[in-house]
A and B are shown apart, each in its own frame.
Chain A
Amino acid sequence: MKKALSLLVGAVMALSLCACGSSGSAPAPTEAAKAPTAEAAGEAKADAPAADGPVWKIGGQGPLTGGAAIYGIAVVNGAEIAIEEINQNGGINGYQIEYQKADDEHDQEKAINAYNSLKDWGMHFLVGPTTSSPTIAVGTEAEADNLFMITPSGSAVDCTAPKNVFRVCFSDPAQGAKSAQYIGTHKLAEKVGVIYDSSDVYSTGIYESFASEAPGQGLEIVATEEFTSESNKNFSVQLQKMKDAGAELVFLPFYYTEASLVLTQAASMDFKPIFFGCDGMDGILNVENFDTSLAEGLMLLTPFAADATDDLTVSFVKNYQDSYGETPNQFAADAYDAVYIIKAAAEKANLNPEMSVSELGDAMQKAITEIEVDGLTGSGMTWNEGGDVDKEPKAVVIENGAYASAE
């Protein structure tokens, strides 16, 4: 028994050491190093005609398995669509892009493993991670490597603390404060209730800034109720409390998976306040088989709407549906934009894949603050050195099963 185990561990060790031996530590995208790295990384996903010369290597990461898989899969898919488009149109500065995705299981430690595996593959830029805690953990690593990283959806404040990390989405406090301001200035309600996920970084982040901004906007928070990832099915108690407290508007700063349950249960108990969500709410109309009439009147601040009619959104949504059979949500859109932001910055600084990761990192950090990008999630997006984006959220309201501008 012991011997069998020892044999096994020996085999595994040998295997991993072989892997160590074959792919060198420094990413050298030369012909010689290509074979082993490709082997280690498996099929490189970008299907552009096999480029002979140097190529860009962009990594994407997020939870591809487990409970948060929905967000990670959207991110890697969204990025993949953008990369295919760019490759068809001649790449970045004339170089094609190879793409590799990695699973971080929404866990800090696994996120670093995923990041390292991408680094071994020879990644130049990272689109990811998807969720906040992995983003913070990976950011520190990437800072040490001076690797340029743009997270589509890591919204916690600390995500962009390292100098090389930028993001496409709003930060949580920005969303919370903007939500409170919007509700206040549009006089949607005075008595406000909040339900949030107290075990989630995103949700607590938004809640905190909302709660501190609310009084200044003439809002009275009459009830605050929490739930956790361990009990996120039954919301009847929280809703009953909102109802009893006389909340005219209920703020739901969490994702649409749970939000669809909240809406269903509220309907079944005849509780009909205004429901107000954030960007995580986007996607609720596309939940398969969801009765969209339940979401009638739901307001949300979101930078992206899948049924917007501008050309960019229409073609993105169509491509995404063709490739993956689903309607993209805001995560996919953020990732799509992230790739184009990389493209814009790399073109601005006139970079090429022969440069070292650190050189690229320096150049990109400078270039991104000098560009302006029109994307799916905002037009005229610009970045400050702190890594945060400047763009306006759109407030939408759901009418007849579709988004309509709330202005």
Chain B
Amino acid sequence: MMSFVSYFLSGVSLGSVYAIIALGYTMVYGIAKMLNFAHGDILMVGAYVAFLGLNSLGLPIPLATLLAMVTCTLLGIIIERAAYKPLRQANSLSVLITAIGVSYLLQNLALLLFGANPKSFSSFVPVGAVRFADGALTISGETLVTIAACVIIVAGLIHFINHTKAGQAMLAVSEDKGAATLMGVDVNRTIALTFAIGSALASIGGILLCSAYPTLTPTTGAMPGIKAFVAAVLGGIGSIPGAFIGGILLGILENLSKAYISSKLSDAIVFSVLIIVLLVRPTGILGKKIMEKV
């Protein structure tokens, strides 16, 4: 029983990281209608900046976090302007391919700048582990903070979207770009803002990911990026609560299948469950049901 709780909690923790990354995916998708495959690599950049800020510049943890967020925000905006914006009118697959190009670019740039050797990331989480039942169950500080951060971010985002002008503009753009323009919404600015927020979230995701799993290499972002994409789709891409639920579910699923079925085949199991979920709910758990009007 204690093992189960422990599997479950570490699943929730892993899932929270997926969820934070998935939020960025889902927001960008909802508004720009593109899969930003470079999202995982922005996460990696964020983690490197935070690492350097803490260890090379000697910044305190909040400042290093802030530095990572600012860098990623700028990076997100620059990438959007330079590589995605010119393709906004083009076929959606073109943007996807460009995003892949950006992903390669960031990975190889990081390889040249930081080298291939892994860096051990010092935890950004100042909270110690909590022990229950004489140490039979240990919950690490990272787990607690990650889960808390995820919940706060989701709540904050929902509030932002529903109760601020910029958030409403985002909703409008995601519904109908043309109409939003007519209503006086600056579509370019809104999309840039979305990329900015998504990238800032990615940097937080990167810091939390590396705090919990402290190895940092140029390819650190690749797999979590894909998993987060899966999570976003599982939850219903474009939906913020969906990304949250999808991320948490994916994390739990991954851990429990490792624990109770096979650690060797856990990837296959997780992906099979994903396929089954999508067969039952073709637009994900919270995805909008698209009814084509005849």
The answer to whether A225 has its CB under 8 Å from any CB of chain B is yes
A257 touches B7 (CB 8 A): no
B10 touches A234 (CB 8 A): yes
Q: Provide the bound-state CA to CA distance between A264 and B258, in Å.
A: 19
B86-119 to A contact mask, C-beta < 8 Å, 1/0: 0000000000000000000001100100011111
* A238 CB contacts on chain B under 8 angstroms: 258, 263
B122 touches A289 (CB 8 A): yes
Given contacts A237-B255, A269-B138, whether A288 and B117 have CB atoms under 8 Å apart is yes
Stretch at the interface among B152-160, B213-221, B275-283: B213-221
Stretch at the interface among A62-70, A92-100, A183-191: A62-70
B120 touches A244 (CB 8 A): no
Given contacts A237-B7, A240-B3, whether A326 and B115 have CB atoms under 8 Å apart is yes
Q: Provide the bound-state CA to CA distance between A146 and B52, in Å.
A: 48
B217 touches A289 (CB 8 A): no
B259 touches A241 (CB 8 A): yes
Q: Provide the bound-state CA to CA distance between A319 and B93, in Å.
A: 49
Q: Which residues of B from 247 to 289 have beta carbons under 8 Å from A? A: 254-255, 258-259, 262-264, 266-267
* A268 CB contacts on chain B under 8 angstroms: 129, 138, 140, 142
* A270 CB contacts on chain B under 8 angstroms: 131, 135, 138
Q: Provide the bound-state CA to CA distance between A286 and B263, in Å.
A: 29
Shortest Cβ distance from B261 into chain A, in angstroms?
11
B223 touches A257 (CB 8 A): no
B6 touches A240 (CB 8 A): yes
Given contacts A237-B258, A260-B214, whether A70 and B116 have CB atoms under 8 Å apart is yes
A73 touches B6 (CB 8 A): no
Q: Provide the bound-state CA to CA distance between A227 and B212, in Å.
A: 17
The answer to whether B25 has its CB under 8 Å from any CB of chain A is no
A233-265 to B contact mask, C-beta < 8 Å, 1/0: 110111011001000000000001110110011
Most buried by A among B6, B51, B117: B117
Q: Provide the bound-state CA to CA distance between A270 and B128, in Å.
A: 13
* A325 CB contacts on chain B under 8 angstroms: 115
The answer to whether B14 has its CB under 8 Å from any CB of chain A is yes
The answer to whether A226 has its CB under 8 Å from any CB of chain B is yes
The answer to whether A352 has its CB under 8 Å from any CB of chain B is no
* B138 CB contacts on chain A under 8 angstroms: 268-270
A70 touches B117 (CB 8 A): yes
The answer to whether B55 has its CB under 8 Å from any CB of chain A is yes
Q: Which residues of B from 216 to 240 have beta carbons under 8 Å from A? A: 217-219, 222-224
Q: Provide the bound-state CA to CA distance between A274 and B43, in Å.
A: 34
A287 touches B118 (CB 8 A): yes
The answer to whether A230 has its CB under 8 Å from any CB of chain B is yes
B: number of interface residues (CB 8 Å): 44
* A257 CB contacts on chain B under 8 angstroms: 118, 215, 217
Shortest Cβ distance from B12 into chain A, in angstroms?
11
The answer to whether A198 has its CB under 8 Å from any CB of chain B is yes
The answer to whether A158 has its CB under 8 Å from any CB of chain B is no
Q: Which residue of A lies closest to B51 (CB)?
A: A289
The answer to whether A290 has its CB under 8 Å from any CB of chain B is yes
Shortest Cβ distance from B34 into chain A, in angstroms?
22
Given contacts A231-B266, A234-B213, whether A288 and B259 have CB atoms under 8 Å apart is no
A244 touches B3 (CB 8 A): yes
The answer to whether A228 has its CB under 8 Å from any CB of chain B is yes
Shortest Cβ distance from A123 into chain B, in angstroms?
24
Shortest Cβ distance from A386 into chain B, in angstroms?
31
Q: Provide the bound-state CA to CA distance between A29 and B42, in Å.
A: 46
How many A-B residue contacts, CB cutoff 8 Å? Answer: 111
The answer to whether A359 has its CB under 8 Å from any CB of chain B is no
Shortest Cβ distance from A276 into chain B, in angstroms?
19
A: number of interface residues (CB 8 Å): 42
The answer to whether A109 has its CB under 8 Å from any CB of chain B is no
Q: Which residues of A from 262 to 302 have beta carbons under 8 Å from B? A: 264-265, 268-270, 286-291
The answer to whether B84 has its CB under 8 Å from any CB of chain A is no
Most buried by A among B6, B142, B258: B258
Shortest Cβ distance from A251 into chain B, in angstroms?
15
B120's partner among A66, A230, A233, A290 (CB-CB below 8 A) is A290
The answer to whether B244 has its CB under 8 Å from any CB of chain A is no
Given contacts A231-B254, A234-B255, A289-B120, whether A264 and B214 have CB atoms under 8 Å apart is yes
Q: Which residue of B lies closest to A283 (CB)?
A: B117
* B142 CB contacts on chain A under 8 angstroms: 268
Given contacts A67-B219, A270-B135, whether A237 and B263 have CB atoms under 8 Å apart is yes
A226 touches B6 (CB 8 A): no
B264's partner among A198, A244, A261 (CB-CB below 8 A) is A198
B214 touches A226 (CB 8 A): no
Q: Provide the bound-state CA to CA distance between A233 and B223, in Å.
A: 10
* A240 CB contacts on chain B under 8 angstroms: 3, 6-7, 259
B118's partner among A70, A230, A244 (CB-CB below 8 A) is A70
Shortest Cβ distance from B171 into chain A, in angstroms?
34
Shortest Cβ distance from A296 into chain B, in angstroms?
15
Q: Provide the bound-state CA to CA distance between A261 and B10, in Å.
A: 14
Given contacts A65-B108, A231-B254, whether A236 and B10 have CB atoms under 8 Å apart is yes
* A69 CB contacts on chain B under 8 angstroms: 111, 116, 218
The answer to whether B37 has its CB under 8 Å from any CB of chain A is no
Extra inter-chain contacts (15) besides given A231-B267, A268-B140, CB under 8 Å: A67-B219, A225-B258, A225-B263, A227-B263, A231-B254, A232-B223, A234-B10, A236-B6, A237-B263, A257-B217, A260-B120, A260-B214, A261-B215, A287-B215, A326-B117
By Cβ-Cβ distance, the 8 closest A-B pairs, closest first, are: A290-B120, A69-B116, A226-B264, A70-B116, A236-B10, A233-B213, A237-B258, A289-B120
Q: Which residues of A contact B (CB under 8 A)?
A: 65-67, 69-70, 72-73, 198, 225-234, 236-238, 240-241, 244, 256-258, 260-261, 264-265, 268-270, 286-291, 325-326
A-B contact pairs, 18 of them (CB 8 A): A65-B107, A69-B218, A70-B217, A228-B267, A231-B223, A233-B209, A236-B6, A237-B259, A241-B259, A260-B118, A268-B138, A287-B119, A288-B119, A289-B51, A289-B119, A289-B121, A289-B122, A291-B120
Q: Which residues of B contact A (CB under 8 A)?
A: 3, 6-7, 10, 14, 51, 55, 107-108, 111, 115-122, 129, 131, 135, 138, 140, 142, 209, 212-215, 217-219, 222-224, 254-255, 258-259, 262-264, 266-267
